Amino acid sequence: MLIARDLRIDAGIRTLIRDVSFSVQSGDRIGLVGRNGAGKTTLMRTLIGELPAAEGTVLRSGNIGYFSQEAALPDLEHDDATGLERILMARDIGAMQRRIEHSRQRLESLTGEERDRGIVRFSRLHDEFEAKGGFVAEAEAKRIASNVGIGNDELGQPVRSMSGGQRRRVELARILFAETDVLLLDEPTNHLDLDAKAWMIDYLSTYKGGMLVISHDLPLLDEAITSVLALEHGEIEAYRGNYSHYLVERDLRQERKERERKHQDEAIARLEENIRRFKGTTEKMAKVARAMETRVDRMKRDLVEVQKSGKQVRLQFPQPERSGRVPLAATGVAKAFGDNVVFVDIEFAVERGERMLLIGLNGAGKTTLLRILAGVETADLGEVSLGHRATLGYYAQEHEQITAGKTVFEHMRDVTDVPDVTVRSLLGHFLLADKVDQDAGTLSGGEKTKLALAMLVVSRPNVLMLDEPTNNLDPQAKEALLDALTIYEGTIVMVSHDTDFVAQLMPDRAMLMPDGEMKYFDEELLDLVALA
């Protein structure tokens, strides 16, 4: 169980959330919704105890599992912990396994009585592991891992060597394996393919504990939750029902507030007109006017507050300098991580103004290829060449270009020398004007996405490399990005699992990974996009 009472949360000198109270109890399945930057992730981190509240209290009981939207390397029990060990550690099964393996390895170097004692110790550990359901638990962990898209090869891979997406799936499997009483989930379906999303929604819709989830995944919000907490303008309002019901009820409440406020304003206007008429007449009517003024003051204190529509993200990529006919090409590119060969012999040439989509299952090497093309990572074989006047702009889905300890403004300064007023104006278009001096590492996932896009815009590239650019974006910001890319005249190479976004952008060609097969894009390929 989790109870928040009279919470106030500050971000620097700004109050982000005030006077918030609610609870998450067994059987509750709650969606926490609001615009990017409203404070959803900050609230969740405060609930789990990672951040302090300026005022109020949070009461926690039972085993609470928290899944962060960040893909940062977790604090590992052992530097070489594998994906499976990391998952099993949630129940201490992983630690027991490691002790058993250590005991087994020691036996190989023991002799005589020491070996006899070692055998007894190994047998005792083995029996304890079996008594605690270790073998059954391991099978369960592997089943959960498989359902969220972690293959057997990844389970045996050290967590430190994993990509951000792989680490997120491992952490998600770990949280689900941990036998929690309360789940706090921040964008749990990012990096999941279509089958894993469907399994996740089914799992959450039958979860017996309490759940609070942040997500822009509309199917999840419609099928897995039974109530909504809407965070807007620093306040929380509760709604019963799923997300679609919330949208309807929100609009109805807004209409009722507007009607009531209109009636209040009209009543105040009538009284104030009478006050003006009566004030300069007889003493008796002047007393009536003073009584009316007291009444007007009271009515103004009790006015229904009607929130104005929030500002909209405005995004436009400046039309870039014209590149050569073939701005980007690859010849015989191959990449492997240890014994894991990701892809070999990738060859293609992208023409000026073309939109190319990389398609493939999780682990097919889409992000790895994009990083090689962007110059962030090197290929083991082959060559990537830039054409005449080609300038690259790379958007990394893990926000690698955003560094903790540097302000939002400093990040913009790293990529442009335009005047300060231009930088601040651009950040305002991305709804980041009030975060100019904030440590970029403390931004929410959606805000980091907006900052990364702002850095792309101001650098004016003519080849955009985009890796899951819609992750963490709210619907309005996603629409703004789509509109901007639609009219962009440069070249685009993109990875995305967002079927609707890809369908509306309509790429020219698609490369199927890991084979590197090139196809002209049509609607039939959208089924493969959903599996990515």
> Is 296 inside a domain boundary?
no
> Is 450 inside a domain boundary?
yes
- pLDDT tens, residue by residue, 436-482: 888 888 888 888 888 988 898 888 899 999 999 988 788 888 888 99
Tokens of 32: 């926490």
CB 511 within 8 A of CB 348: yes
> Is 190 inside a domain boundary?
no
Q: Is the pLDDT of residue 409 over 70?
A: yes
Q: List 32's β-bridge partners, or say none.
A: 229
Q: Please count the structural domains in the chain.
A: 1
Give the CATH number, domain containing residue 375. 3.40.50.300
> Is 276 inside a domain boundary?
no
> Is 388 inside a domain boundary?
yes
> Is 420 inside a domain boundary?
yes
> Is 522 inside a domain boundary?
yes
In terms of Cβ atoms closer than 10 Å to its own Cβ (0-12, 13-18, 19+), residue 419 is exposed
**In which domain, by residue range, is 333 found?**
328-531
Measured between alpha carbons, how far is 188 from 31 in angstroms, rounded to an integer?
12
Phi first, then psi: give them for residue 457, nearest 5 degrees: -60, -50
- Percent of the chain at pLDDT > 70 equals 96
Q: Is the pLDDT of residue 16 over 90?
A: no
> Is 141 inside a domain boundary?
no
- pLDDT tens, residue by residue, 75-91: 777 778 889 888 988 87
pLDDT attached to residue 532: 63
Q: Is the pLDDT of residue 314 over 90?
A: no
H or E element in which residue 454 lies: helix 445-459
